[in-house]
Each structure stands twice: as C-alpha cells, then as structure tokens.
C-alpha cells in the first residue's frame, strides 16, 4: 500500500481534506507512517463482502430492517452472539444476558451513567485506554489508578486500595479493566490473577467492567476465558464489539451481564423510544454470521495482524536504542515500548518530523495519580504505544526505521 498517515489522536484537524468536512476519523497525510492510532488497514476491511451482505440483509428482513429496533437489539444478532461466545469463551450467555450497543465506547459511557453515582471512585489500570479515561472523566467521578505489571493488573494491591477508599468515606462505582490484549500494553492478565480478581470482586462486592474488545484477535491459540465467564452472575459487565473483528464503521457492539443488569441497560428511555443503536448494521452483522463469513474474516485478520506484529517487533529489534524494551502481545493491536532514557512527549515532534509517530505513555495515565502504581506507570514518561493494525509490514518497518533514527540521537 502507499505511504499514508494519521491525524493527531485528539481528532480531525480543521480544514482537513482540502477544507471539506472529513468523511472518516482518519485523515491521510502523504509521506507519513504514523503508528499512533489503532485503526484497521482499509485494505483489510471486507468492503465487497459487506456490500453483498447488505443486499441480502434487506431482502431477508424486509421493511423490519429499516424500522425502529428492539431495545436490547435485534434477536438474530443476539442469537448469533450467544453462539459465537459459546465457541470463543468458556461460558456462553443466555439471550436475556445480552444487550447490543453502539460499540465499546458507547457502552462505557452508559456504564458511567448507570453503574456509578456522582462522586464515586472508578478504579482503572495504570496505564489504561486513553479514551476510556476521557469518557469516565466527562462524568463527576473520581478516577483512581491501580498498579499494573507484566502479568496485568496487580490484584493483590486491590484490598488495601479498597480499604483506604472506604475508610475515607468514599464509595467505589466499579473497576474498569482490559484483561485480554490490553490497550495500551498488549499484555494479558494471567490465569492466576483472573481467578483471584473474580474471587476478590465477589468477596468485596466490587463490580467489574471488562473491556473485551480484542477477544477475536488472538494470535497464539484461543483467547483466555473472560472475567465475565469466570465470575458469579452480577459481578461483571463485559463489553464486546465487532469494530476490531469486522469493521469499526458499523458501530455494533454488545455487553453481557446478568439478566437484571442487562435489563437496566435495555430499559433506558432512549432505547425504549428509538430502539437499540445501529439496528440495520446489527442485522448486517447477523447476516454475516449466519452466512458463515464472519469466522473466515476473523481468521484472515488474525493471520494479517500476526504477520504485522512480527514485522513491527523485528523492526524494533533492529532500530531502537540499546536498552529499549517492548512487550510481545499474544493478540490485539498494540505493543508498549520503553526507552532506557528520555521523555517521549518531548521526543515526539522530532519523530513526527521524520515521518513516523507514536502515542506517549503518559497519555494513558489519569491526570491525578498516586505513587506506587507499578512499573508501567513509573516508566510511562520513557514509554510509548505503537499500533501495527493500520499499515503493511513494509510500512511498519519503514516507520520504525525513521523513528529509530531520531531516538538513537
């Protein structure tokens, strides 16, 4: 593919696309290979297949495809999600335990409004998904980071943190976690800590919100069981999406929860009035799964992203300064790179000038954070996130080569 670039991670620039309003979030910048954004390569999106499936969907469902949708989402996709999770997770949900959403970000926005009260504490990993911090931060909630290391969330630190919060008279709304192919580090919570976390959550009465968006993008065998599948009913709300495994523009996701929690989500007045978001795209996804094309698409993406991960990691080995370290994720979109010295925010302008890019590590930390948040938080000023999802192996190697030329000084 030709060299292309991505806009600033804060949003489209004024006057993008020659002064016209942009069609998509990505705005091409010729000659730049910016590894900052976790966007799919357009050549990997199943455009022709979905075009044909759209026609099939409209013929199959008729005028109901263009009507207001059911509040919890259309039944055909709910049934398809039940079947799919029965194959990719250790416990399938029942149909009454699913509510379709407009994607993980929209679902997290709903969680912030429904599952927490103003002034409550939301626990997050340090580091965590930067837009999750912005979504949660747009509500009157206190964000409290938790230690994170090479095995994921440091679960043993939770009891003391919970006790301190409660001793101060504050209450915890929920813990937001990305245990599988974590964003931004790419790491996966170890089996031992998964079990410990769900047991602790049950003992402490702690609600977990699990971001499971990368489940389908596993490169080395099946993804581990979700926290939702391991925990007693009512303890976890799991957020899933077809953004990474099919196409983000569909804006189709889902959550799994126990029946009472799922009904809280589907019972919101705006859903009762207008139906679940993305009604027609949800039926399109259901058709894709019913026609057997979805698993093949997932396998194709797994193979492509596995190849790109290898290309990126090999390029880092050749180009980064001596003493640099990085994670080797078993799936997802991202790796986390830590330099032996330097401030990655200050280094970024020169990297961009060279035609490359990354997101500095401190972007993934809450503005207010206590000390002792683990090695990833402590090294964040020397770290950055890279995405391998947007570019070909050749472009990934070239971007890292440019970046390395700057970082080696």
- pLDDT single digits (tens) 236-282: 999 999 999 999 999 999 999 999 999 999 999 999 999 999 999 99
When pLDDT is cut at 50, 70 and 90, the band that residue 371 belongs to is low
Q: What integer pLDDT is reported at residue 373 of this predicted model?
A: 79
Cβ burial of 106 (10 Å; 0-12, 13-18, 19+) is middle
When pLDDT is cut at 50, 70 and 90, the band that residue 19 belongs to is low
The per-residue pLDDT for range 188-206, each reduced to its tens digit, is 999 999 999 999 999 999 9
Q: What integer pLDDT is reported at residue 25 of this predicted model?
A: 81
When pLDDT is cut at 50, 70 and 90, the band that residue 20 belongs to is confident
The two structure tokens encoding residue 343: 């401030």
Arch. (CATH architecture) of 63-292: 3-Layer(aba) Sandwich (3.40)
Cα–Cα distance, 340 to 321 (Å, whole number): 8
How much of the chain exceeds pLDDT 90, in percent?
A: 89
Q: What integer pLDDT is reported at residue 133 of this predicted model?
A: 97
Q: What integer pLDDT is reported at residue 368 of this predicted model?
A: 76
How much of the chain exceeds pLDDT 70, in percent?
A: 94
Quick one: average pLDDT of 340-345?
A: 98
When pLDDT is cut at 50, 70 and 90, the band that residue 94 belongs to is very high
- Is a pLDDT exceeding 90 seen at residue 83? yes
Q: What integer pLDDT is reported at residue 8 of this predicted model?
A: 37
Write down the mean pLDDT value for the chain: 93
Quick one: average pLDDT of 207-222?
A: 97
CA-wise closest residue to 176 among 135, 127, 122, 254: 122
Q: What does DSSP say about strands 208-211 and 334-338: parallel, antiparallel, or unpaired?
A: unpaired
- Is a pLDDT exceeding 80 seen at residue 338? yes
Residue that wins the pLDDT comparison between 27 and 170 = 170
Q: Break the chain into its structural domains and give their ranges.
A: 63-292
Q: What integer pLDDT is reported at residue 147 of this predicted model?
A: 95
- Is a pLDDT exceeding 90 seen at residue 28? no
Residues 6 or more apart in contact with residue 370 via CB below 8 angstroms: 144, 145
145: preceding bond cis by omega (within 30 degrees): no
Cβ distance 338 to 325 under 8 Å? Answer: yes
Q: What integer pLDDT is reported at residue 174 of this predicted model?
A: 98
- Is a pLDDT exceeding 80 seen at residue 378? yes
Q: What integer pLDDT is reported at residue 2 of this predicted model?
A: 30
């Amino acid at each position: 593919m030709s060299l292309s670039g991505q806009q600033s991670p804060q949003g489209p620039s004024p006057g993008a696309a020659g002064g016209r309003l942009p069609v998509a979030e990505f705005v091409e910048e010729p000659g730049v290979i910016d590894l900052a954004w976790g966007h799919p390569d357009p050549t990997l999106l199943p455009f022709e297949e979905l075009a044909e499936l759209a026609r099939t969907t409209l013929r199959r469902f008729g005028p109901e495809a263009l009507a207001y949708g059911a509040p919890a989402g259309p039944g055909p996709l709910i049934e398809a999600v039940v079947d799919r999770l029965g194959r990719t997770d250790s416990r399938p949900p029942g149909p009454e335990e699913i509510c379709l959403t407009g994607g993980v970000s929209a679902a997290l926005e709903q969680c912030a409004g429904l599952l927490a009260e103003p002034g409550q504490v939301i626990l997050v990993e340090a580091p965590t998904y930067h837009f999750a911090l912005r979504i949660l931060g747009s509500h009157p909630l206190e964000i409290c980071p938790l230690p994170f290391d090479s095995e994921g969330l440091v679960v043993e630190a939770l009891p003391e943190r919970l006790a301190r919060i409660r001793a101060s008279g504050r209450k915890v709304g929920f813990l937001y976690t990305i245990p599988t192919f974590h964003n931004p580090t790419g790491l996966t919570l170890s089996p031992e800590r998964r079990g410990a976390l769900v047991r602790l959550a049950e003992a402490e009465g702690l609600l977990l919100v699990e971001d499971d968006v990368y489940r389908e993008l596993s490169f080395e065998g099946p993804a581990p069981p979700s926290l939702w599948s391991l925990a007693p009913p009512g303890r976890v709300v799991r957020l899933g999406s077809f953004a990474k495994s099919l196409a983000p523009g569909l804006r189709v996701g889902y959550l799994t929860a126990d029946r009472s929690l799922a009904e809280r989500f589907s019972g919101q007045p705006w859903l009762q009035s207008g139906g679940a978001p993305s009604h027609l795209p949800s039926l399109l996804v259901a058709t894709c799964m019913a026609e057997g094309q979805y698993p093949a698409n997932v396998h194709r993406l797994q193979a492509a992203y596995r190849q790109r991960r290898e290309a990126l990691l090999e390029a880092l080995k050749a180009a980064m300064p001596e003493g640099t370290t990085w994670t080797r994720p078993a799936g997802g979109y991202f790796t986390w790179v830590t330099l032996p010295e330097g401030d990655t925010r200050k280094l970024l302008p020169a990297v961009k000038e060279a035609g490359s890019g990354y997101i500095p590590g401190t972007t993934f930390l809450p503005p207010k954070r206590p000390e002792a948040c683990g090695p990833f938080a402590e090294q964040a000023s020397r770290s950055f996130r890279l995405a391998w999802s947007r570019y070909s192996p050749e472009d990934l190697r070239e971007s890292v080569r440019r970046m390395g030329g700057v970082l080696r000084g």
